[in-house]
Structure 1
Amino acid sequence: MHIKPLLVASAMMAATALAGCSSIGGPTYTASYASVTDAGYRLPAIPRTKVPSQFHRQVVSYETREAPGTVIVDTGAKFLYFVMPDGKAMRYGIGVGKQGFEWQGTARVAMKREWPMWTPPAAMIKRRPELAEYRGGMQPGLQNPLGARALYLFRGGHDTGYRLHGTPEWWSIGKAMSSGCIRLLNQDIVDLYNRVDIGAKVIVK
């Protein structure tokens, strides 16, 4: 008489386990935003419930003529797509440039840096004189605006000044708050960094 309840319970447990790794016909949620130690730094956990679910890292269906390995940034929707084979992409939530700092175009990843230094450009120091102390560069760390990783975008062999980078400001994801760079959650930029090759094409639209 107890077989049916046991079968139901087993089915529910199996469904719960599968939901964490795959979902046929829908997105696959893959992100872990737990605290993690990286290169001696302890990245704090991201409060998942405070970040809208559409901005959590996930695999989605994505049709494009661009080759796998391409990065496509949709600034309007606040999504970054890393193109994968078979009509799929890893999608990340992003923060983008505030009004007056938006940009569009095609670039290439020329450099990748783990826990990079950050040097505010002269124009930024002019707008915010308090940043002058970092004219020679801000050391890597949990409060560094570039976060845990940075991908440097070049066009025609020249540095655009724009980066794909992490941020400690998780609340800025899904918003237009930056000075033009594309920011991701620190745990997401670590994931993207491990996927993107030097020379990868980046399309910002």
Structure 2
Amino acid sequence: MFVVGLAASLSGCATDNLDWLGLSYDVNDTDLRNYAALDRERFPIRAVDLAKLDPKYRRQQVSYQTSEPAGTIVVDTPRRYLYLVSGNGRATRYGIEVGREGFGWNGSATIARKAEWPTWTPPAEMVARDPRTAPYARGMPGGPENPLGSRALYLYQGGRDTLYRIHGGGRPTTLGKATSSGCIRLLDHDAIDLFNRVPVGTKTVVLPDPLLSKAPAQKPPGGEA
């Protein structure tokens, strides 16, 4: 997974005017609830700066037609959305970051385990190409500086760990971009919401992005000890 610097980063439908920031994003009660400060977490999480979060990447209920059954996760890599299928043509949609070119992964997998504030352990390949990860070769404890963020869902195929994750640690300004080293990154608030909604055993379908599939497949970039 990509390490961000390794040390890293109003009522009803009324609109709070943000023009002075050079933005014109709407802010409503649902957004304020979804992205409020989470003070009861083991590591408290600040409220999301909604002035920096494009409305299309905010968590929301949307119309979504799919043949997948309710409870399935569908990652639409080209459009940078993750859908949790509700059934009856509806889904909960989250904005995501995806893997950079050459690190994009796609396929069908199962969530075999879940972790809160997970440990992150860079594999040998990552340590070799990025010496900054060497201090964490035996694992970085969970916490606000950990690139996996507040939650992680582990994708397995045929009972084997793919080493790809759906996890937190995202930032409002990088949602919608190909910035990670292969995994699917959400805002911590959204990672917690998804974590609480899906059980172990959830089917996950990751759709391919042709723009991220031009380079030869790479070995999975990250995992947990």
Deviation at 1:29, TM superposition (A): 8.4
The match for 2:150 is 148
**Change in CA separation of 1:38 and 1:96 when aligned onto 2, cut-off 3 Å:** farther
Identity of aligned residues (%): 48
By relative contact order (CA 8 Å, sep 6+), the higher-ranking structure is 2
Correspondence 1:34 to 2:46: no
Q: Deviations over 1:98-126 (max 9, x none)?
A: 01101110000000001101111111111
The match for 1:24 is none
Alpha-carbon distance between aligned partners in 1 of 2:186 and 2:79, rounded to the nearest angstrom: 14
- Where 2:165 maps in the other structure, the secondary structure is strand
- 1:119 aligns with one of 115, 121, 127: 121
Name the larger-Rg structure: 1
The match for 1:108 is 110
CA contact (8 A) 1:29 1:59 kept: no
Unaligned runs of 5+ in 1: 1-12, 21-27
**Change in CA separation of 1:38 and 1:153 when aligned onto 2, cut-off 3 Å:** farther
Question: Which of 185-194 and 39-48 deviates more?
Answer: 39-48
RMSD: 1.8
| Equivalent runs, 1:48-197 vs 2, <5 Å | 48-197=50-199
- Which is helix-richer, 1 or 2? 1
Alpha-carbon distance between aligned partners in 1 of 2:46 and 2:176, rounded to the nearest angstrom: 19
CA contact (8 A) 1:73 1:80 kept: yes
Deviation at 1:185, TM superposition (A): 0.3
- Which is strand-richer, 1 or 2? 1
Question: Which of 145-154 and 37-46 deviates more?
Answer: 37-46
- Normalized against structure 2, the TM-score is what? 0.77
- Where 2:149 maps in the other structure, the secondary structure is coil
CA contact (8 A) 1:142 1:168 kept: no
CA contact (8 A) 2:97 2:170 kept: no
